[in-house]
């Protein structure tokens, strides 16, 4: 291949974006590409052990650290991650806007670094729209990292182009997404606020800039694989006419070493203890419930989940990210009654470790793309409970296209808090997933997709081939 090519990876400052980007850098480095991750001091500390471990196994990943201009944007010093946003919706928006102001101020030091190092390619997160112009000035191809699926990107684009949501009479009236394969139905209440509002605010400006930058960039990288959503990969590339490569599922390169140090956060439970508990259970008998690091349910909703779980009679592991430390959200005596049957983890959980265990037979998820992919790679069917972002689109992929999930019945897009779902609906969905008439078929389809995921990154697999052709293209271009 001649001269070694150098790629910059620039992840957004949030755990859900950092983890797949670091995994991706590791993947490219394992193919002989010189890789450098650009980040801030606090974010670098999240993945320093991963970098160290990679080095010990002969894969070297460079890190360039730039100061995050928190104070200049009116944020406390050290406020460098979107995971630090307050969970109350009223406070959240103001802090988020200050954070994006700081991200904008990051442009100048970043451009300086780009000029000094002149990498052959820049992979920058969707939320850095200015990265395209910065790279273009220096003749460096900028690839946008989409932390989501081809499917949801196609849905977003069809909604932007054809605006079907403006032709319905109410928020609950279903419409079919025009020109998209699969007759995908949505309602206006399931769409992001930024799409429903005609009034432009700071957030819609950022999203519009991200879309414009994507259209001017060299291409798009997806953490996905062809066998999962080939129809939509073809649609994205051939009908929408975008250059795109799928190199996922990138978490598979870290699957063998998914301990707490490797994934950047300390588990709130001893992992051996957790595995021992799972080892004592029958295959496919445990339900795993986790809503990611950003969704924040009210105490009333958590109580409803507890009652739904108890009524279902199922065994479970439930991860609760709760700000207030008291247990006012638990029905009286719930934990006592659940002894041996249920496990509550307050805080960060070793998700991949749990999902990969044969005792786990179902996953209740918010349909964030990282979690959805982790469920797919573990071969576990899902109960879908989207709250915001593009999660309602991912839900349709899981339940309508892949047919490996059951909808819990969340109908309303609501940033952070999510739609309120009653215990009866929760009980019905989890029972249907674990023991319903379709349960065995869903499990078979899930296992087949997990197999396909493994094969896609093996030599000659669909993602391996896309990765190879992208490296080749950048290499030829840089020469």
Q: Where are the domains of the chain?
A: 6-253+457-478, 262-453
Number of Cβ within a 10 Å radius of residue 260: 18
- Closest by Cα among 156, 161, 181, 160 to 235: 181
103 phi, psi to nearest 5 deg:
-60, -35
Q: Is the pTM of this model over 0.85?
A: yes
What per-residue confidence (pLDDT) applies to 419? 86
Q: Do domains 6-253+457-478 and 262-453 have the same CATH topology?
A: yes
Would you please indicate which residues are annotated as catalytic (active-site) residues? 17, 125
Crossing angle for the helix pair 107-117 and 130-137, nearest 10 degrees? 30
pLDDT at 263 over 60: no
- What would the pLDDT profile of 338-352 be if each residue is shown by its tens digit? 999 999 998 889 999
Higher pLDDT, 148 or 266: 148
Give the chain's end-to-end CA distance (angstroms, integer).
10
The total number of residues shown for the chain amounts to 479
Residue-wise DSSP of 141-164: -EEEEESS-HHHHHHHHHHHHH-G
Q: Is the pLDDT of residue 44 over 60?
A: yes
Tell me, what's the pLDDT at 109?
Answer: 96
Looking at the domain that runs over 262-453, which CATH code has it been given? 3.40.50.2000
At 239 the pLDDT is: 97
Residue reference for tokens 């471990």: 53
Widest Cα–Cα separation across the chain: 68
CA distances in angstroms from 478 to 29, 64, 74, 115, 472, listed in the order given:
17, 22, 40, 16, 10
The DSSP annotation for 92-130 comes to HHHHHHHHHHHHHHTHHHHHHHHHHH--SEEEEETT-TH
Question: Which pLDDT score is estimated for 261?
Answer: 38
Q: What's the token pair of residue 160? A: 């932007």
Query: pLDDT tens, 407-464?
Result: 999 999 987 777 899 999 999 999 999 999 999 999 999 999 999 999 999 999 999 9
Work out the pLDDT band at 322, boundaries 50, 70, 90: low
Q: Among the listed ranges 76-90, 151-165, 359-373, which one has the minimum average pLDDT value?
A: 76-90
| pLDDT surpassing 60 at residue 145 | yes
The pLDDT-based confidence of 141 (bands split at 50, 70, 90) is very high
Angle between helices 15-29 and 41-56 (to 10 degrees): 30
SS3 of 222, please? strand
Instruction: Say which CATH architecture domain 6-253+457-478 belongs to.
Output: 3-Layer(aba) Sandwich (3.40)
């Amino acid at each position: 291949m001649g001269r070694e090519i150098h790629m910059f990876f620039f992840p957004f400052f949030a755990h859900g974006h950092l983890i797949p980007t670091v995994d991706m850098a590791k993947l490219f480095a394992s193919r002989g590409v010189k890789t450098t991750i650009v980040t801030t001091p606090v974010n670098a500390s999240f993945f320093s052990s991963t970098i160290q471990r990679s080095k010990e196994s002969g894969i070297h990943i460079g890190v360039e650290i730039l100061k995050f201009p928190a104070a200049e944007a009116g944020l406390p010093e050290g406020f460098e991650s979107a995971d630090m946003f307050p969970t109350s919706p009223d406070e959240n928006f103001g802090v988020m806007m200050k954070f994006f102001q700081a991200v904008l101020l990051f442009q100048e030091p970043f451009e300086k670094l780009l000029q000094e190092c002149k990498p052959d390619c820049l992979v920058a997160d969707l939320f850095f729209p200015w990265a395209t112009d910065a790279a273009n000035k220096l003749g460096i191809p900028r690839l946008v990292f989409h932390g989501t699926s081809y499917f949801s990107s196609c849905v977003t684009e069809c909604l932007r182009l054809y605006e079907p949501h403006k032709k319905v009479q109410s928020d609950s009236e279903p419409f079919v997404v025009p020109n998209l394969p699969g007759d995908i139905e949505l309602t206006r209440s399931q769409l992001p606020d930024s799409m429903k509002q005609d009034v432009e605010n700071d957030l819609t400006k950022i999203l519009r800039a991200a879309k414009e930058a994507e259209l001017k960039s060299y291409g798009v990288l997806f953490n996905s694989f062809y066998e999962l959503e080939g129809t939509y990969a073809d649609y994205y590339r051939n009908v929408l006419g975008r250059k795109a490569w799928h190199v996922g599922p990138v978490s598979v390169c870290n699957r063998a070493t998914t301990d707490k140090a490797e994934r950047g956060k300390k588990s709130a439970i001893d992992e051996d203890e957790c595995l021992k508990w799972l080892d004592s259970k029958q295959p496919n008998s445990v339900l795993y419930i986790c809503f990611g690091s950003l969704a924040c349910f009210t105490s009333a909703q958590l109580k409803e989940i507890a009652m739904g779980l108890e009524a279902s009679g199922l065994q479970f592991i439930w991860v609760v990210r709760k700000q207030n430390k008291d247990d006012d959200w638990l029905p009286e005596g719930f934990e006592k009654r659940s002894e041996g049957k249920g496990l509550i983890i307050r805080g960060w959980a070793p998700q991949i470790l749990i999902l990969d265990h044969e005792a786990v037979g179902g996953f209740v998820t918010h349909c964030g793309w990282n979690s959805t992919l982790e469920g797919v790679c573990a071969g576990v069917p899902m109960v879908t409970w989207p709250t915001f972002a593009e999660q309602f689109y991912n839900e349709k992929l899981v339940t309508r296209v892949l047919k490996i999930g059951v909808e819990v019945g969340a109908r309303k897009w609501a940033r952070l808090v999510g739609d309120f779902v009653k215990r009866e609906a929760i009980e019905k969905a989890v029972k249907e997933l674990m023991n319903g008439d379709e349960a065995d078929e869903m499990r078979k389809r899930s296992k087949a997709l997990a197999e396909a995921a493994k094969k896609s990154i093996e030599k000659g697999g669909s993602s391996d081939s896309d990765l190879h052709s992208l490296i080749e293209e950048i290499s030829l271009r840089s020469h």
